[in-house]
Amino acid sequence: MSVNPRPHKESFKRIPIAKPVFSASEEEALLEVLRSGWLVQGPKVNAFEKLFRHFIGAKYALAVTSCTSALHLALAAAGIGPGDEVLVPAFTFIATANVVEYTGARPVFIDIDLETYTIDCTKIRKYLSERPEAQTRPRCIIPVSLFGLCADMEKVNKIASKHGLSVIEDAACGFGARRHGHHAGTEALAGCFSFHPRKAITTGEGGMVVTNDDHLAKTIQALRNHGASKTDFERHLEHGGSLLPEYDKLGYNYRMTDLQGALGVAQMEKAEMILKGRKQAAARYDELLAQVTEIKTPFVPGGYEHGFQSYVCLYQPDGETPKVGRDIDWNKINVWNRTRNRVMTQLEAMGISLRQGTHAVHTLGYYKKKYALQDHDYPMAYLADRLSLALPLYYGITRQEQRTVVEKLKQCLS
């Protein structure tokens, strides 16, 4: 397939953090939808859902407006609400916790494993066995397949079934990620994906819920469309659509447009190629950074396939990853944090975009204030927030561009 990403004018000299892969097929797909006149949750959305569920290996795939709405719907359909607790990793994008707030439940942060940046199952067990009596009760865990690496779903599921919790996976970054052959999102009650432009395939904004559960799928299908018992497309096919359906649930408008659906179809045709290109680029960084002792490259446990939504490193100038919170010299971490930030600013000035991996959500104003949280409450999440460093990664990044990134990075570090 010939793909010819047309760079933004500026990007001739810049190396951006991410770049979507579009070709004539996306342009044609969009025109086809405009000419068809069917713009919302129609045949293109259906086609995208079908391709996606086959790729992932799930019984249902339901397209929505974003991963945030996907997660919100999955929680709502699982009956999560006021009085419930939902366990979320402390290092993730804020949306993972926000969706819990939307339902009226309480997010409970759990620290991460700094090797994988995913939820630390020993900390989940500790929390569940030591939690004080409270008015809220644990109902659900949201493991996150962060940056394209699955969480340890086997352990998460074991804990969840022991404590009667449901598991909803935040697989926003999980496209192309597998664990012992299972695609991200398929080892939970529901898995939620994002098609934001920083993800491997994009529809601008967009999301998908995958599940094997008939009842959950039916509920989400209704909730994404104001609670309607039938989609507009189904009504149209049956009776020409004259009569409105029944609405017996309080739903939302989280419908995907057919413009996004058509983009999704065109992107799915390139999916294997895009993922292969990203994995090759990640392997090149591994090589180029092998001798750079201050930079810890992403760890991939045996049996896991990293999707490399991002290539996230840890800045650790003394070459060792702290394992236990109490051993951490926070003054030293603050100095390292300032160096990391300076390096990112310097590289940006040279036209190379780096980013902090993501944030420690318990340190963000809303959560910090509402739940009286301290930065060091979740030390590994806080370390990851302070020291993580995402390098530019996209399909089509050249070996030369990657060499430039690493050379300039080394210069700035020294």
Task: Output 289 or 389, the one with its CB closest to ligand PLP.
Answer: 389
Q: Which residues contact 369 (CB under 8 A, 6 or more apart)?
A: none
- Interface residue with ligand PLP among 78, 144, 189, 409 (CB under 6 A) is 144
Our finding on whether 96 is near ligand PLP (CB under 6 A) is yes
> Rule CB under 6 A: which of 175-194 touch ligand PLP?
194
Task: Output 33 or 67, the one with its CB closest to ligand PLP.
Answer: 67
Phi and psi at residue 57, in whole multiples of 5°? 90, 45
- Interface residue with ligand PLP among 68, 202, 221, 260 (CB under 6 A) is 68
Strand partners, 168: 190
Segment interacting with ligand PLP, rule: CB under 6 A, options 155-163, 167-175, 214-222, 265-273: 167-175
- Interface residue with ligand PLP among 48, 60, 91, 93 (CB under 6 A) is 93
Our finding on whether 67 is near ligand PLP (CB under 6 A) is yes
CA distance 156 to 142: 9
Task: Output 119 or 409, the one with its CB closest to ligand PLP.
Answer: 119
Terminal Cα distance for the chain, rounded: 42
Q: Count of residues binding ligand PLP (CB under 6 A)?
A: 15
Phi and psi at residue 64, in whole multiples of 5°? -140, -170
- Interface residue with ligand PLP among 172, 200, 281, 409 (CB under 6 A) is 172
> Rule CB under 6 A: which of 214-273 touch ligand PLP?
none
Q: Which residues contact 395 (CB under 8 A, 6 or more apart)?
A: 3, 5, 19, 21, 200, 273, 274, 277, 278, 281
Segment interacting with ligand PLP, rule: CB under 6 A, options 92-100, 215-223, 230-238, 317-325: 92-100
Our finding on whether 95 is near ligand PLP (CB under 6 A) is yes
Strand partners, 390: 312, 355
Phi and psi at residue 148, in whole multiples of 5°? 105, 15
CA distance 104 to 88: 15
Task: Output 275 or 288, the one with its CB closest to ligand PLP.
Answer: 275
Segment interacting with ligand PLP, rule: CB under 6 A, options 43-51, 87-95, 243-251, 374-382: 87-95
Task: Output 92 or 257, the one with its CB closest to ligand PLP.
Answer: 92
CA distance 40 to 130: 48
Q: At what angle do helices 153-163 and 121-130 cross, to 10 degrees?
A: 10
The conformation of residue 309, written as its DSSP 8-state character, comes to: S
Task: Output 137 or 355, the one with its CB closest to ligand PLP.
Answer: 355
Task: Output 88 or 288, the one with its CB closest to ligand PLP.
Answer: 88
Our finding on whether 391 is near ligand PLP (CB under 6 A) is no
If residue 155 lies in a helix (H) or strand (E), which one and from where to where? helix 153-163
Instruction: Return the half-sphere exposure (C-beta side, CA atoms, 13 A cut-off) of residue 190.
Output: 31
Instruction: For the sheet with 84-89, list strands across it.
Output: 60-64, 207-211, 190-194, 166-170, 137-141, 84-89, 106-110
Our finding on whether 92 is near ligand PLP (CB under 6 A) is yes
Task: Output 172 or 347, the one with its CB closest to ligand PLP.
Answer: 172
Chain residues that interact with ligand PLP, rule: CB under 6 A: 66-68, 92-93, 95-96, 144, 146, 170, 172-173, 194, 196, 207
